[in-house]
């Protein structure tokens, strides 16, 4: 990693040059809510003036640039009794500007699951390789809890990361590409004062968190509280709408469907991001549903997010952005659910018996 500082006006020139030359997305205000707060999303940008550098957080995450909501996995073309399968890992270069530390941490977690597992996904890799990620730090929203999961800072997974130190941005340059582009612009070595400002900025961010979620030993609490009434309580509120998983930066599960073309000469195999909250997530042939109740399904979302699964065992995949909590119509959010579980656990601490020791 190489550190530089750049004046804000020079930074804008740099971003403008990038944006004009490449397909780029950055935070833009799309609406204002009833409380007159701005609503931001990652949207196409064509000049630096389109970008709201001082935005808070987007409602939807940036995962769909890497895992499209809908995506073609392969094509088949038929000739009588035979067919040909075509698979392509297509991705065009994209510049993403203004990702928050939690967004980038989420990408690192997706890398773990989708690239470092037993079967790395070329679809994801193609997109990841062709995306130029520029991160920016920010002051947390009152309900952000990424600090509880140590995701309020990130040190890998981006090309360039910018910290706002007042007049300048403090740049962490993490790729040769970013370094070469920046050579065309006026940057400086960080001075002693810049480093000091940077430390102060970090401290300010860290101290600005208003929400804390105690996630220590959550995996075992989730196991022990598997039959907890907490799930029925929150399950009763859940609409099974999948909104939480769609906006979440780390929910990656999907459904596959296959269709003949209308001329019947070919077929395509597509995937669609899905959610374990949706009613038919675990339905098998014959109609048996392994998770028939709202509470069962909601529990599994928490189980997967906070228990840590197969490819990333015992490592939580939630980064604490609280996007799910903000988007949920009925107010189901990780802080409330996890606190409830903890209370459950603490109120029945005495009756936990050791598991049978038999092998």
Partner 1 sequence: MHDLRFTIPRQDLNREAFASSVPDFNLKSDLMKTDMGYKCRITNIVSLTEQEKLFRLRIVDPEERRIFRFKPGQFIMLELPGFGDVPISISSASSNHEFIELCIRKAGHVTSALFRIDTGMHVAIRGPFGSSFPMDEMAGHHALLIAGGLGIAPLRAPLFWINEHRDRFRDVHLLYGAKEPSQLLFSYQFDEWKTISHIRLHTIVEHADAEWKGSTGMITELFRDITIDAKNTYAIVCGPPVMFKFVCSCLDRLGIPMNRMFVSLERRMHCGMGKCCRCMVGSTFTCIDGPVFDYWSVMNLKEAI
Partner 2 sequence: MNQQGMHFEKLKIASFDFTCCEGCQLQLANNESSLPAFFELLDVHAFREISSEKHDDYDIALVEGSISRSDEIDRLLAIRKQAKILVAFGTCACFGGVNSLKNRIPIEESVVEVYGELQVETLPVRKISDIVQVDISIPGCPVAKEEVERIVVSLVTGSKVNLPKYPVCVECKQQINTCLFDLGEICLGSITRAGCSAVCTSGKTPCLGCRGPAEDINFPAFMEMVRERGLSESDLREKLDFHNAFETYRNDET
Ligand X SMILES: Cc1cc2nc3c(=O)[nH]c(=O)nc-3n(C[C@H](O)[C@H](O)[C@H](O)COP(=O)(O)OP(=O)(O)OC[C@H]3O[C@@H](n4cnc5c(N)ncnc54)[C@H](O)[C@@H]3O)c2cc1C
Interacting residues with partner 2 between 209 and 238 (CB under 8 A): 236-238
Assess 243 for contact with ligand SF4 (CB under 6 A): yes
Nearer to partner 1, 33 or 79 (CB): 79
Cβ pair 165, 197 in contact under 8 A: yes
Assess 277 for contact with ligand SF4 (CB under 6 A): yes
Stretch that binds partner 2, among 39-47, 183-191, 219-227, 312-320 (CB under 8 A): 39-47
Cβ pair 163, 140 in contact under 8 A: no
Cβ pair 218, 316 in contact under 8 A: yes
User: Contact with ligand SF4 (CB under 6 A): which of 304, 307, 342, 345?
Assistant: 304
Cβ pair 305, 316 in contact under 8 A: yes
CA distance 185 to 13: 8
Assess 45 for contact with partner 2 (CB under 8 A): no
Among partner 2, partner 1, ligand SF4, none, partner that 18 touches (CB below 5 to 8 angstroms by kind): partner 1
Residues from 267 through 286 that contact partner 2 (CB under 8 A) = 272-273, 275, 278-280
Assess 70 for contact with partner 1 (CB under 8 A): no
Assess 35 for contact with ligand X (CB under 6 A): no
Cβ pair 234, 340 in contact under 8 A: yes
Residues with Cβ within 8 Å of 244's Cβ and at least 6 positions away in sequence, in order, are 251, 275, 277, 301, 324, 327, 328, 332
Beta bridge partners of 15: none
Phi, psi at 259, each rounded to 5°: -135, 145
Assess 249 for contact with ligand SF4 (CB under 6 A): yes
Stretch that binds partner 2, among 73-81, 132-140, 219-227, 342-350 (CB under 8 A): 73-81
C-alpha pair distances (Å), 93 with each of 18, 142, 156, 356: 12, 35, 20, 54
Using the structure block, give the residue that is written with the tokens 């459950």.
344
Assess 290 for contact with ligand X (CB under 6 A): no
Assess 83 for contact with partner 2 (CB under 8 A): yes
Residues in touch with ligand X (CB under 6 A): 284-285
């Amino acid at each position: 990693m190489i550190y530089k500082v750049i004046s804000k006006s020079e930074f804008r020139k740099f971003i403008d040059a990038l944006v004009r030359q490449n397909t780029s997305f950055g935070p833009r205000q799309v609406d204002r809510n009833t409380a007159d707060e701005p609503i931001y999303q990652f949207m196409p940008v064509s000049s630096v003036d389109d970008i709201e550098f001082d935005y808070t957080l987007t409602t939807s995450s940036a995962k769909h640039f890497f895992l499209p909501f809908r995506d073609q996995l392969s094509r088949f073309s038929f000739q009588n009794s035979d067919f040909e399968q075509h698979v392509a890992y297509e991705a065009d270069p994209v510049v993403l500007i203004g990702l928050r530390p939690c967004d980038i941490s989420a990408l690192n977690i997706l890398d773990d699951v989708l690239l470092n597992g037993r079967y790395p996904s070329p679809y994801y890799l193609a997109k990841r390789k062709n995306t130029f990620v520029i991160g920016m730090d920010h002051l947390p929203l009152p309900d952000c809890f990424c600090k509880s999961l140590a995701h309020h800072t990130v040190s890998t997974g981006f090309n360039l990361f910018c910290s706002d130190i007042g007049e300048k941005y403090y740049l962490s340059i993490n790729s040769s590409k970013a370094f070469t582009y920046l050579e065309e612009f006026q940057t400086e070595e960080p001075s002693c004062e810049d480093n000091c400002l940077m430390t102060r900025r970090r401290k300010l961010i860290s101290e600005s968190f208003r929400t804390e979620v105690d996630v220590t030993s959550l995996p075992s609490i989730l196991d022990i509280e598997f039959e907890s009434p907490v799930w029925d309580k929150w399950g009763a509120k859940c609409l099974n709408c999948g909104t939480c998983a769609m906006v979440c930066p780390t929910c990656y599960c999907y459904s596959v469907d296959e269709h003949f073309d209308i001329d019947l000469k070919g077929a395509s195999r597509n995937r669609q991001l899905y959610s374990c909250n949706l009613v038919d997530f675990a339905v098998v042939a014959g109609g048996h549903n392994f998770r028939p109740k709202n509470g069962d399904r909601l529990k599994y979302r928490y189980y997967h997010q906070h228990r840590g699964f197969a490819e990333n065992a015992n490592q939580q995949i939630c980064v604490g952005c609280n996007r799910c909590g903000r988007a949920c119509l009925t107010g189901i959010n990780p802080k409330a659910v996890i606190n409830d579980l903890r209370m459950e656990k603490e109120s029945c601490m005495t009756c936990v018996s050791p598991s049978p020791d038999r092998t």
